[in-house]
Structure 1
């Protein structure tokens, strides 16, 4: 068995190489059986009726089974690949198997004059009886029979990785052809035979009047329908082959038209003769003119090597980079990291995962509808790239990957999967491998990982919110700036926890639109003064993330702008001190509560402040200033402002905390105690509250009155009369002149005529579309 695997590996290594010897083995512009010969045979030979119900089944296959017509080329190339695999496998034990043709290739020729498309392979071929059995019977393919034969000889057929086990892929040819001719030559039959059918209810089998033109192999000629002539265009054939069969293990050639510059022979001869006769040095130095000529030649279509089938140790970094450009279809695209691995167990598959250097354009704006960049192959034949969020969650949709399964069960059309359980197993392995790849990058290359986090931290956070299964792993991957490391996003939760202070049970964090904004927050003051580290969360999704996380390693998250802040190392003396301060400042807190009753629910002495006079704190379940601004931005959508919850939270009163060490607060307490409160003091306190609201991250509901109050204080400070207004003079604008009115009317008339012409053009287009 080991020898067999070794030989197969050797074959796989060189099979796809496009050598000159391979091209020489192909017949230039080889065509199928001429149309007149086909018609003559079909009319003269005995027709064989398909097995019972085959016509009805064929009708189903042609009209219902396949989603798109272009699938026919993939199916026929896959069948050709199977035939080549068979003869290659036979040659391991039979030295004469390749005597008739030692090459492995597939060729495609489009013949526009005869409206035929010819696909030829140098595979195992079929005898007349095999043509009858395999093409005259639905779901009885040569591949299935071949596998059964191998199993009976105690050989394991899965080593051969043959695809077509349903026997219906061939009939996809009738999606585009109204008549199909199959010429085939097997080593087991001295003659070459043809099979002809119009997909009605019968077929013809006869000796090929051309004789043995193939040596060995099969040639399928499609007589295309008039509405399928697009498949004779070289560009279409190239595109379809690259899409579905780019990684087939054998070279695929297309007889194509190219243009080359060549020397004009008559001009070259004339210059040479002139030089010889006259011995003219100037004539000898003349260069003959070049002309562009049309050249017909074989073009190799599948030049890309399926590197995922190779041992990762044998693939170079440049090969991985080049393959990514092919996969991503962007010549300048670069991956930041990749993983090449093999999955074994209930389902065997090979895969390469790529993480792009940058997020796709508009990635986060179109996350719901972003196309997933996962290509699924079954034994190197492309199946689909439309697996969607059922396969890879949307938070991981930025990765590119190629997945090639050995035995993934497909339905007969290869377009939908029969058993989702195996697909789910592959999906879990891909997600786990991607997370392991991120973790490896974080551990081995901090600079590279910092770039990755800058691009995709929002995706990881979305994953932590949506996926409870992977939440713990994803949370370990998150990085934030902090009060200790402000540059970049390099602080992990593990690093934060390792630096926590004695008795600290909370992970302190603050939210805002930027690090600079958070650093201006009054909530940081005492925490930083006491040496606590605070995480800076600057992405809108952070608010939702914290709600989804129960905590981390037994530590709860604490927003320093919400609720009752606890450091964790408080003792009884601190509690007594705070109690005495609340009693001492109660006259001021009561007065502030009455004065600012429209805005505040409670006023208390603060444990957060050192240098600011006061701060506005959200309740434990309320909205911080940052959250409120986010929700107001969301409320820009129609109807959002009428939402009951939104209105309730916006009207919710806040908690006001005062700093007993600040001179402004101490002065206010003295005035309250001395009974020196007047309207001017109330006005100053109101302005102080409003500026505090701005510093605390909240937006003012009444900006107009705020500016009036500030102006009033400025006037009093500068001794300016409060009632004096600005003295200004303004000239009224002149009416339009008659000339201007006439010019505007002419422009309006011209604009209306243009619009009318555009409407007429739209009507014409609509009528054309209906036709």
Structure 2
């Protein structure tokens, strides 16, 4: 038998929050069911806990569950649980008001700024996510009785400013929330939430891993065509990440990975972790065996799935995984986050940043383990994901050391097998201080570059870097294991520097510099529009000349990349180095000594410079002029 019905007003801040929930916050109205199921799950958790603490609590915990019931004729959807329930005081505090410190001030800020997204940090606290029901219902009725009490309570409201509350006898322990649904209206995005397929879809997407069974009765036709009513469990309850790793089979991991990634292969690596302490969470991450087709697509999805207490929050949580690990798939289930924490707040949350750092460390550590235990398998993974991992050297300074240990690159040491930086350092020649590398469009271009000649002749290993990102990261990383990274196409390379005390070698070097003392400044002047300096080279053994940059200069490839992105850059003049032992260069020196005013020498200088540009795969400033000069020279020589 019920008591007198009381009509009470919502707290002012509650009315503001109701308006935000109904009209502003949620773009996807389907999540109202997620919120109600989450509240029901919390109630079941609380009853189970209280029954363990209080053995005298009169409550049946033998079949804790959530039930969904639809009544098409009455257009109602009911979410029922046999959890802890609420007293009248609980209802007034949790639903009628928002008794949280600072909430009123936050709502005032939201009102002033119009930042509806900021309000999402409130939704999902017990009793607050309840308001999302008013997005799809024009009236909500709640019946509840708290475990350990005799009196039940009925609550009802249309969400417009007041609610009715009444004591009711004879209610079971638990809570039922009945939504009197608004008419279906496609323009307003209101689906028919009485349709069984729609309810199943929402539960599967958002609440599949809730630990308690979510049940719903539906009509089923048997083989003879007769219709029977059958109760189905809609959720799998298989939250693999919440189970100890020893209890999960590889087949289960593979099935789950394929479900969330839509990949038909098994994952290459599985990372199952649990963090306990001030901020608890579980994570189940997978490294795919092959790169997805959209790995470098700007519109590709990024990040892992975020759950809170097994409730799905968002599919691509970029705050939890850096962009250079965008190939990692998986789930992070946090225990202490608000259910509807917004993407903006996630980016700023200190705990989320700490989780991200640990996840990154775990993923890079897993890759290092593969590298250590199975080199061939690691090289396959590097072939799939190495290019994006190197992006981390530009984005994640905290992980530079770990990423450098993973870097594998082609080198002159073995044409068939990439090398790690650690392996390179182990093979360095006595007295070698730098790790030498050369960037280029492809291996053939790099190997045939004039810059390689002296290094190959003297047995120095050179890394061959051909990914576009290589042009950038080598400039950002100062050293590896105390050895600087040095481009053999930049700065001074003095491989044939005379040994200390070798007077004959020092005298030979001085003689050559004297022989070219007139030609070098003349060439610098003749080619002043294209080069900043002309000097003798110790890089060359067979080519006549090569073009190099100063130690701090931008490479031509990087310069082209920036220009392609629309960035205006001043022209970078480079240095022309000559091979003093090449017949062409010695002949040019002799001709210049014989007749420094010969105008044809300037054309030879242009041809030498143009040939050096072509030899490194570069672009000629004036291809037509170069072709004409070369043709004329060939004609005169025949």
TM-score (norm 2): 0.83
Q: Tell whether the 8 Å contact from 1:409 to 1:418 is kept in structure 2 after alignment.
A: no
1:548 matches 2:476: yes
Q: 1:167 to 1:304 in 2, by over 3 A?
A: closer
Q: Tell whether the 8 Å contact from 1:169 to 1:413 is kept in structure 2 after alignment.
A: no
1:493 matches 2:421: yes
Q: 1:617 to 1:420 in 2, by over 3 A?
A: closer
Q: How does 1:290-439 map to 2 (within 5 A)?
A: 297-303=230-236, 305-328=238-261, 330-332=262-264, 334-366=266-298, 371-385=301-315, 387-389=317-319, 391-408=320-337, 420-439=349-368
Match of 2:439 in 1: 511
- Alpha-carbon distance between aligned partners in 2 of 1:540 and 1:524, rounded to the nearest angstrom: 20
Shift of 1:327: 2.6
Q: How does 1:36-115 map to 2 (within 5 A)?
A: 46-50=4-8, 54=10, 56-65=12-21, 67-68=25-26, 69-92=29-52, 102-115=62-75
Structure 1: gaps (5+ residues): 1-40, 142-162, 264-290, 719-771
SS in 2 for 1:357: coil
Q: Tell whether the 8 Å contact from 2:39 to 2:126 is kept in structure 1 after alignment.
A: no
Match of 1:251 in 2: 213
1:201 matches 2:133: no
- Alpha-carbon distance between aligned partners in 2 of 1:75 and 1:358, rounded to the nearest angstrom: 36
Q: 1:673 to 1:59 in 2, by over 3 A?
A: closer
SS in 1 for 2:410: coil
Shift of 1:470: 2.1
Instruction: Find the partner of 2:141 among 159, 181, 190.
Output: 181
Q: Tell whether the 8 Å contact from 1:592 to 1:603 is kept in structure 2 after alignment.
A: yes
Match of 2:115 in 1: none
Match of 1:138 in 2: 97
- Alpha-carbon distance between aligned partners in 2 of 1:65 and 1:413, rounded to the nearest angstrom: 14
1:474 matches 2:408: no
Higher RCO structure, 1 or 2 (CA under 8 Å, sep 6+)? 2
Deviation digits for residues 277-306 of structure 1 (CA, Å, limit 9, x no counterpart): xxxxxxxxxxxxxx7x87653333211511
Shift of 1:616: 1.9
- Alpha-carbon distance between aligned partners in 2 of 1:132 and 1:507, rounded to the nearest angstrom: 69
Instruction: Find the partner of 2:624 among 682, 697, 704.
Output: 704
Q: 1:99 to 1:698 in 2, by over 3 A?
A: closer
Q: 1:509 to 1:576 in 2, by over 3 A?
A: farther
- Alpha-carbon distance between aligned partners in 1 of 2:452 and 2:219, rounded to the nearest angstrom: 72
Q: Tell whether the 8 Å contact from 1:139 to 1:166 is kept in structure 2 after alignment.
A: no
Q: Tell whether the 8 Å contact from 1:349 to 1:405 is kept in structure 2 after alignment.
A: yes
SS in 2 for 1:342: strand
Greater helix percent: which structure?
1
Structure 2: gaps (5+ residues): 101-122
Q: Tell whether the 8 Å contact from 1:615 to 1:657 is kept in structure 2 after alignment.
A: yes
Deviation digits for residues 236-294 of structure 1 (CA, Å, limit 9, x no counterpart): 3223222321211011123345677x35xxxxxxxxxxxxxxxxxxxxxxxxxxx7x87
Alignment size in residue pairs: 603
1:224 matches 2:193: no
Q: 1:448 to 1:385 in 2, by over 3 A?
A: same
Match of 1:610 in 2: 541
Q: Tell whether the 8 Å contact from 1:105 to 1:122 is kept in structure 2 after alignment.
A: yes
Deviation digits for residues 126-162 of structure 1 (CA, Å, limit 9, x no counterpart): 57x5776567643579xxxxxxxxxxxxxxxxxxxxx
Shift of 1:399: 2.1
Q: Tell whether the 8 Å contact from 1:482 to 1:536 is kept in structure 2 after alignment.
A: yes
Q: 1:440 to 1:558 in 2, by over 3 A?
A: same
Shift of 1:87: 3.7
Q: 1:412 to 1:576 in 2, by over 3 A?
A: closer
1:455 matches 2:389: no
Larger radius of gyration: 1
Shift of 1:191: 8.0
Shift of 1:235: 3.4
* RMSD, aligned CA: 3.6
Q: Tell whether the 8 Å contact from 2:537 to 2:579 is kept in structure 1 after alignment.
A: yes
SS in 2 for 1:473: helix
Shift of 1:484: 0.5
- Alpha-carbon distance between aligned partners in 1 of 2:292 and 2:383, rounded to the nearest angstrom: 13
Q: Tell whether the 8 Å contact from 2:66 to 2:214 is kept in structure 1 after alignment.
A: yes
- Alpha-carbon distance between aligned partners in 2 of 1:336 and 1:614, rounded to the nearest angstrom: 48
- Alpha-carbon distance between aligned partners in 2 of 1:118 and 1:568, rounded to the nearest angstrom: 85
Q: 1:378 to 1:362 in 2, by over 3 A?
A: closer
Match of 1:446 in 2: 375
Q: Tell whether the 8 Å contact from 1:169 to 1:412 is kept in structure 2 after alignment.
A: no
- Alpha-carbon distance between aligned partners in 2 of 1:376 and 1:478, rounded to the nearest angstrom: 30
Q: Tell whether the 8 Å contact from 2:303 to 2:317 is kept in structure 1 after alignment.
A: no
- Alpha-carbon distance between aligned partners in 2 of 1:712 and 1:569, rounded to the nearest angstrom: 39
Deviation digits for residues 730-758 of structure 1 (CA, Å, limit 9, x no counterpart): xxxxxxxxxxxxxxxxxxxxxxxxxxxxx
- Alpha-carbon distance between aligned partners in 2 of 1:674 and 1:470, rounded to the nearest angstrom: 60
SS in 2 for 1:510: strand
Q: How does 1:574-613 map to 2 (within 5 A)?
A: 574-589=505-520, 592-593=523-524, 595-613=526-544
Q: 1:525 to 1:684 in 2, by over 3 A?
A: same
Match of 2:103 in 1: none
Match of 1:738 in 2: none
Farther off after superposition, 539-548 or 192-201: 192-201
- Alpha-carbon distance between aligned partners in 2 of 1:612 and 1:501, rounded to the nearest angstrom: 25
- Alpha-carbon distance between aligned partners in 2 of 1:584 and 1:568, rounded to the nearest angstrom: 18
- Alpha-carbon distance between aligned partners in 2 of 1:105 and 1:503, rounded to the nearest angstrom: 72
SS in 1 for 2:621: coil
Q: Tell whether the 8 Å contact from 1:482 to 1:491 is kept in structure 2 after alignment.
A: yes
Shift of 1:551: 1.7
- Alpha-carbon distance between aligned partners in 2 of 1:238 and 1:414, rounded to the nearest angstrom: 27
Q: Tell whether the 8 Å contact from 1:618 to 1:655 is kept in structure 2 after alignment.
A: yes
Farther off after superposition, 66-75 or 182-191: 182-191
Q: Tell whether the 8 Å contact from 2:213 to 2:237 is kept in structure 1 after alignment.
A: no
Q: 1:477 to 1:206 in 2, by over 3 A?
A: same
Q: Tell whether the 8 Å contact from 1:178 to 1:225 is kept in structure 2 after alignment.
A: yes
- Alpha-carbon distance between aligned partners in 2 of 1:415 and 1:186, rounded to the nearest angstrom: 37
Q: Tell whether the 8 Å contact from 1:411 to 1:418 is kept in structure 2 after alignment.
A: no
Q: How does 1:513-552 map to 2 (within 5 A)?
A: 513-552=441-480
- Alpha-carbon distance between aligned partners in 2 of 1:700 and 1:472, rounded to the nearest angstrom: 39
Farther off after superposition, 91-100 or 578-587: 91-100
Shift of 1:667: 3.7
Q: 1:585 to 1:568 in 2, by over 3 A?
A: closer
Instruction: Find the partner of 2:607 among 653, 678, 687.
Output: 687
